[in-house]
Amino acid sequence: MVSQPHAPILPSYTSSTADKPLLGMTIGDKFDEIVAQYPDNDALIVLHQDIHWTYKQLQEEVNRVARGLLALGVQAGDRVAIWAPNCSEWTLTQFATAKIGAILVNINPAYRTHELEYALNQSGARFLITADSFKSSDYRGMLVELAPELKASAEGKLKSQKLPELEGVINLSSEKYDGMWRWQDLLDHANQISQTDVDDLQATLQFDDPINIQYTSGTTGFPKGATLSHHNILNNGFFVAESMGFTSEDRLVIPVPLYHCFGMVMGNLGCVTHGAAMIYPGEGFDPESVLKAVHSQRATALYGVPTMFIAELDHPDFSSFDLSSLRTGIMAGSICPAEVMKQVIDKMNMKGVQIAYGMTETSPVSTQTGADDSIDKRVSTVGRTQPHLESKIVDPGSGGILPRGEIGELCTRGYSVMLKYWSNEKATEEAIDEAGWMHTGDLATMDDEGYVQIVGRIKDMVIRGGENVYPKEIEEFLYTHPGVSEVQVTGVPDKKYGEELIAWVKLNGKQDVTDEELREFCKGKITHFKIPRYFKFVDEFPMTVTGKIQKFKMREISIEELGLEK
């Protein structure tokens, strides 16, 4: 009998090519090139500020801010931090700093004094551009609390004990405050510098220069400053928009925050690399303002995380808005429920809506679904490898590439991988290996067609009695219980098994549920060692300021409450 040859086992590795090459230029040069091509196209529409600029007008404003920054003493390589919600000044600062080679430091608008102090000092920011206030945040109050010396300081001459590197503060308010320039003062200073000075400086910049520091959420401790180059973020914005088929006719509504890659890279740079329009519906997210923006501006594309789309679909006046102009967009940030995806396609007309996956450290997108992918692929996977990038899934222990279908750590390599974590060599070495692979810390599988599915975080993985247990799998199962609104599973130490599982459960109020009921619900449906030993009923979970759940804090609290310290 002749033995049949075995089909070769496919490794979990893919690389992706593209018809279009990488953009080998700085952000400033690409911006100017697009302005020359599409001077009269709508560029920036900020509805809450009543701003409507063409590309030519946007360029004039950006150049004025660039000249103003140089006049105030900003130099190439200086860190300029911005702490503000979505507004025109944010975007002007983004492109003005890129033109003069200053490194933009994105500060989360939700930060409080402790986090602000950390980010300003860790990045060594010389200048801070700040809103006066936003929602419940009194930015000026917090800043004066950290640097009371501002009140007796001349503009640009701050000498603060707690913020030793910070010299100058620009407040976006029209009011004049001690020790701070107004935004108008910055614009007035522009007259001292010629445009030739900006152009000459811009011509010296290299596309591999660092241009942006973004702080990761710190789900496992202090935030780290992912340092990104022109090349990193310009190309990522370009290829994300290419995947959606963007042209100079597109009009994108951006309700996601600009301080995050989703807003400033996938949004702003995705539009600017194509001559498309950036539309901001408000300072922060509000479902009605988003629907109004799509309706009034005849938007062709819309961004958001799944919860934003759910809020828009649930709006009582949803049916009164004309969304027929929409064709595409991106849903990212977390897995999208299938029912939501169907409604976005059917009710919002977003037939080409795509899912994108990535992390700040990879500029951000590494994988993306395509416009023609099935709904199943769009809700169960995060797509395939982006152009000019590589993906692989490895055994977290040995580092070896795993066969397709096996769970391991997702790694990505290519132009999008950050330069480093700012002033943190140890963390950089832990994240990027000698071969240039960024280790995402995410557990994933890859199917035969190259689609990637995220199944959890390595740090979340629990080893119980030698068995690898993935909390996400148990969470997904417990979500099917009619009384459960939200659930998070983590590990706690155990003498016998090494680790045991605890489920933190938030009930939806429709019925009383006990831990015994939940255990019974699991029996016979999931393997015995995956059934949590402990249940804790809660009203909320410990969160980062960006809304990510901190499992390390859940673990710490659980250990203390259960008396498992030893």
| Domain assignment present for 388 | yes
Asked if 266 and 359 sit in the same domain, the reply is yes
d(CA 209, CA 449): 36
How many CB atoms are closer than 10 A to CB 449?
11
Backbone angles phi, psi at 521, to 5 degrees: -60, -35
Look at residue 543 and tell me if it is in a domain. Answer: yes
Q: What is the CATH number of the domain that holds 499?
A: 3.30.300.30
Residue 161 maps to a domain: no
Residue 250 lies in a domain: yes
503 and 468: one domain? yes
Question: What is the total count of domains within the chain?
Answer: 2
- pLDDT value at residue 472: 85
pTM of the model: 0.89
User: Residue 523: inside a domain, yes or no?
Assistant: yes
Give the pLDDT of residue 470: 83
Domain termination site, one of 428, 460, 492: 460
> Looking at the structure, do residues 300 and 345 belong to the same domain, yes or no?
yes
- Quick one: 533 and 391 in the same domain? no
Q: List the beta bridge partners of residue 453.
A: 445
Whether residue 243 is found in the same domain as residue 301: yes
Which pLDDT score, from 0 to 100, does residue 7 have?
67
- The answer to whether 453 and 380 have CB atoms below 8 angstroms apart is yes
Q: For position 258, what pLDDT does the model report?
A: 98
Residue identified by tokens 């640097």 is 147
- pLDDT one digit per residue (tens) for the chain, 566 residues: 555 666 678 999 999 999 999 999 999 999 999 999 999 999 999 999 999 999 999 999 999 999 999 999 999 999 999 999 999 999 999 999 999 999 999 999 988 898 899 999 999 999 999 999 998 899 999 999 999 999 999 999 999 999 999 999 999 999 999 999 999 999 999 999 999 999 999 999 999 999 999 998 655 567 899 999 999 999 999 999 999 999 999 999 999 999 999 999 999 999 999 999 999 999 999 999 999 999 999 999 999 988 899 899 999 999 999 999 999 999 987 777 788 899 999 999 999 999 999 999 999 999 999 988 999 999 899 999 999 999 999 999 899 999 999 999 999 999 999 999 999 999 999 999 999 999 999 999 999 999 999 988 888 888 888 888 888 888 888 988 999 988 999 999 988 888 999 999 999 887 889 999 999 999 988 888 899 999 999 999 998 776 778 888 999 999 999 999 87
Alpha carbons 86 and 103: distance in angstroms, whole number: 19
Find out whether 269 and 260 touch, Cβ atoms under 8 Å.
no
pLDDT given at position 4: 61
In this prediction, residue 252 carries a pLDDT of: 99
Q: Are residues 372 and 478 in the same domain?
A: no
**Residues 239 and 325 both lie in one domain:** yes
In a shared domain, residues 306 and 377: yes
Range of the domain at 276: 230-404+438-460
The answer to whether residue 527 sits within a structural domain is yes
Same domain, 359 and 483: no
Three-class secondary structure of residue 133 per DSSP: coil
89 strand-pairing partners: none
Rounded CA gap, 4 and 387, in Å? 37
Could you tell me if 446 and 488 lie in one domain? no
The gap between the terminal CA atoms of the chain, to the nearest Å, is 62
Kindly state whether residues 456 and 492 are assigned to the same domain. no
User: CA-CA distance, 409 to 454, in Å (whole number)?
Assistant: 9
Whether residue 166 lies inside any domain: the answer is no
CATH number of the domain at 393, please: 3.40.50.12780
- Do residues 251 and 399 share a domain? yes
In a domain, 120, yes or no: no
